[in-house]
Structure 1
């Protein structure tokens, strides 16, 4: 369903010569993109940075290992 809508919109956008219409569509995309952006607080940014460092230092475990550790901890 979403692909059909997307393709219809693309066809209409490609066919139009109405500059105001195209500007309006662009403005919709710009305003929607701003709504999709996520603001992170300093603690969240710090956690992401720590995660990146863990990955760089190969301080990682598989999901299966994590589930085992969780099960031990929950007992």
Structure 2
């Protein structure tokens, strides 16, 4: 994870512990008025390739439901 990802995750963890509605509303307004939506994120060639592969999987119905994935994970964990 990058430094930005670590900071973001830390903020999210702290937000989950806040129950004061006014405080959360103030934070929401602060984040909503920032210009983060104007930032364009540049994807690497590998990320673009992975997204294109995902689209092809979806088009060709090569998908697994969350329930199926959970079962597969449990089976894998049992085999360890």
- TM-score, structure 2 as length reference: 0.49
Q: Which runs of 5+ in 1 are unaligned?
A: 10-27
Alignment size in residue pairs: 50
Q: Which runs of 5+ in 2 are unaligned?
A: 1-24
**Segments of 4+ in structure 1 off by > 4 A?**
none
Q: Check if 1:52 corresponds to 2:49.
A: no
Question: CA RMSD for the aligned pairs?
Answer: 2.6
| Pair member with larger Rg | 1
Q: Check if 1:66 corresponds to 2:80.
A: no
CA distance in 2, matches of 1:69, 1:38: 33
Matches within 5 A, 1:3-14: 5=29
